[in-house]
Amino acid sequence: MYAAALCAGAAAWFIGGGDRGLTRARLLVAGATVQEMPRWSWERLVPVVRLRREWLCLPVALVLSALGESVLPLLAGAAAVPLVRRRLAARERGRERERRAAAVIDLCGAAAGELRAGLQPGPALVAAAGSGGALGEAEPAVIAAARFGGDVPQALRAAAREPGADGLAGVAACWRVAVDSGAGLAAGLDRLEAALRADRDQRDDMAAQLSGARSTIGLLALLPVVALAMGWAMGADPLRVLLHTPAGLMCLLIGAVLEAAGLCWAARIVKGGQAR
């Protein structure tokens, strides 16, 4: 009871703004009023949950360990935490790469529009890069080069090294060609935007075609869980057999190895399809 009350109090302090004094000071320094500070917000809790989703393996493992009266599920859950963290981090990097690629496409279109509106290349690039996050951490260097006559293509090529920003290398090439030969930068950016959109549409179409294969992989991965549920429904005790008998432990080990090998093989097939 005391532990539950302590957890509830900590959650209320966190959601209600335990650092309200610090937030108030920041708002006052920024020139905002105290009334503009929200009393609580679920958005403050959501990032913490997202950053710690891999720790959900431990409660599940603890429940299985209690049901099976064995420490093996708990050890497996602890070993799964870094693997799940790595998987979630890879998925987040993929999403960030897609967002950056989309921002680069928008940058090309916005810069071409600003050029047609009468702006010079430098101010047009600065105006197009004002939002969207296409330049990433290299945005100050690119904007400084565009404003003060620096080497804009070099700054753009440096920004293109970030994941998902490969299209900025094309922007740098268009910029170099326009400066050296006097060709129209807006026309080059339009063609680059069309090429990047076509490439993105092709990747999206491939991902849509592979979604069925991913669903099949997930369904096959859940079949052992379905088998355990069917054993419980029939009145058997599959966890006790798997965790407390030599034959069950051998079957568990072989099944885990085959399951991991099958998932790795299927993931490799899907990745090979995406590469094509």
Domain that holds residue 178: 97-195
For residue 238, tell me if it sits in a domain: no
For residue 73, tell me if it sits in a domain: no
Decide if pLDDT at 17 tops 60: no
Answer for the pair 273, 210: CB distance below 8 angstroms, yes or no. Answer: yes
Distance between CA atoms of 154 and 142, rounded to whole angstroms?
A: 9
Which amino acid is present at 144? Answer: A
For residue 161, tell me if it sits in a domain: yes
Rg for the chain, CA atoms, rounded: 27
- Give the confidence band of 132 by pLDDT, cuts at 50, 70, 90: low
For residue 115, tell me if it sits in a domain: yes
Question: φ and ψ at 129, to 5 degrees?
Answer: -90, 5
Distance between CA atoms of 22 and 259, rounded to whole angstroms?
A: 50
> How many domains does one find in the chain?
1
- Give the confidence band of 187 by pLDDT, cuts at 50, 70, 90: confident
Pair of tokens at residue 256: 């885990």
Share of residues in the chain with pLDDT > 90 (%): 4
Closest CA to 152 of 130, 128, 179: 179
For residue 141, tell me if it sits in a domain: yes
At 37 the pLDDT is 42
For residue 20, tell me if it sits in a domain: no
For residue 39, tell me if it sits in a domain: no
Distance between CA atoms of 77 and 71, rounded to whole angstroms?
A: 10
Tell me the per-residue pLDDT of 68-93, one tens digit each, with 9 for 90 and over: 788 888 888 888 888 888 888 888 88
Does pTM top 0.75 for this prediction?
no
Closest CA to 251 of 264, 261, 238: 238
For residue 265, tell me if it sits in a domain: no
Q: For 237, left (φ over 0), alpha (ψ -120 to 50), or beta?
A: beta
Tell me the per-residue pLDDT of 202-237, one tens digit each, with 9 for 90 and over: 888 888 888 888 888 888 888 888 888 888 888 888
